Structure 1
C-alpha cells in the first residue's frame, strides 16, 4: 500500500473518530447540563416551597395573635360592661340601666365577633378553651339579664348565680391563657 493511501485512511479514521468522539462528548455534555438544570430546578422549587411554608407560618401566627388580642380586649370590655351593669342594678339608679344595658349588649356583640375570629385561625387547644370561655360568658350574660327582670329574693338568688358564674369565668380564662401561651411558644407551628 502506498504511504499516501495509508495516511489518507489514517486521516479518515481519525476524522471519523474525532467526529464520533465529539458527538459522544457533546451528547454527554448535553445530558449532564440537562441533569444539572433539572437538579437546580428541583432545588429552587423546594426552596420556594419551604419559604412559602415559612411565610405562611409567620402570617398564620400573626393572624392568631391578632385574633387572640381582639378576643382578650373584647373579654375585658365585656367584664367591665357586666360590672357596670350589675352595679347599676344593685344601686337601683333609675334610668342608668338602659344606657348601661346598651353598652352591655354592645360588649357582648363585640365578644361574639372576636370569638368567631379565634375559631377561624386558632389551634385546636385554644379554640376549645375559647369555646369554654364563650359558653361561660353567654351563661353569665343571660344571668345578668335575668337579674334585671327580678326583684326581692329571686333577685338575690340570681345575683348569687351571677357571682358563681363570674368566679368560673376566672378559671376558664386562666386555662385559655395557658393554652394561648403554649400555642405561641410552640415552634415550629404544628397546627
Structure 2
C-alpha cells in the first residue's frame, strides 16, 4: 500500500507543479506585455510633451515679437507727431489703432504666458491706451475752450476806435478851455457847447466798450485757465505713463528672454503603482 501511495502523491504533486508553472508563466508574460505597452505609452507621451513645448515656445516668440512691433509702431507715430509742426489729423486715429493692436496681442500673451510676460505686456498696453484717451480728451478740452473764446471775442478793434475818439475829443475840449481862459472869458459859457456834448458821448462810448472788453477778457481768461489746468493734469498722467512704460518694457523684455531661453515642459503626471 505504501509503495502505491507514494508514487501517486508524487504524480499529483508533479501535475500541480506543472499547472502552477503554466499559470506563473502566463502571468509573467502578461506583466511583460503590460510593461512594454506602458513604456511605449510613456515614450509617445513624452514625445508629445516635447513637441508641444517646442510649439509653445515658437508661438510665444511669434506673439512677443508681434507685440513689440505694435509697441514700436506706437512710438513711431508719437515721435512723428511731436516732430511735425503741422501734424496729420489722422495721427491720433493711427495711434488708437496701434494701441488696440497692442492690447489684442497682450491678450494672446495672456493665453500663452508665462505670468511675468503677461503682466508686463498688459501694463504696456494699458498705459498706451490711456494715453490715447488722454489725448482725445485734451483735444476736446482745447476745442471747447477755443469755441468759447471765439464765441465771445474781445472787442479789440472797437476798443481801439473808442479810445482814439475819446482822446481826440478830450484834446479838443482842452484846447477850447485854453482859448476861453486866454480870452478871459467865463468857462460857464461852455455849458451846452457841441464840442463838450461830443466829448461826453465819446467818454460814454469808451466806458461801454471798455466794460464789454473786460467782461469778455475775464470770461476767456477763466475758460483758458480751466483748460490749462486740465491740460497740466493730463501732462502729469502722460509723464507717469511714459515712466511706467519704460519700466514695463524692461520687465517685458527680461521676462520674455527668460521664457524663450528654455523650452516649456509641463510636468508629467505619474500614475500610481
Q: In which range does the TM-score fall when normalised by the shorter chain?
A: 0.7 to 0.9
Q: Provide TM-score, normalisation by structure 1.
A: 0.73
* Equivalent of residue 89 in structure 2, options 79, 90, 97: 97
Cα distance, 1:33 vs structure 2: 0.9
Q: Is the 8 A contact 2:57 2:263 kept in 1?
A: no
2:174 corresponds to which residue?
none
* Equivalent of residue 110 in structure 1, options 95, 101, 118: 101
Deviation per residue, 1:116-140 (Å, 9 max, x gap): 1111111111111122212221222
1:81 corresponds to which residue?
77
For 2:43 and 2:118, locate their aligned partners in 1 and report how far apart those are by CA, in whole Å. Answer: 32
Distance change in 2, residues 1:69/1:18 (3 Å) = same
For 1:63 and 1:144, locate their aligned partners in 2 and report how far apart those are by CA, in whole Å. Answer: 34
Q: Provide TM-score, normalisation by structure 2.
A: 0.54
Distance change in 2, residues 1:115/1:174 (3 Å) = same
Q: With CA pairs under 8 Å and 6+ residues apart, which has the higher RCO, 1 or 2?
A: 2
Matches within 5 A, 1:98-177: 98=90, 100-149=91-140, 150=142, 154=228, 157=232, 158=234, 161-177=237-253
Distance change in 2, residues 1:187/1:102 (3 Å) = closer
2:56 corresponds to which residue?
60
Q: Structure 1: any 5+ residue segments left out of the alignment?
A: 1-5
Q: Structure 2: any 5+ residue segments left out of the alignment?
A: 147-223, 268-273
For 2:248 and 2:12, locate their aligned partners in 1 and report how far apart those are by CA, in whole Å. Answer: 87
Deviation per residue, 1:15-45 (Å, 9 max, x gap): 8787666544433322211111011112222
**What CA RMSD, in Å, does the superposition of the two structures yield over aligned residues?**
3.4
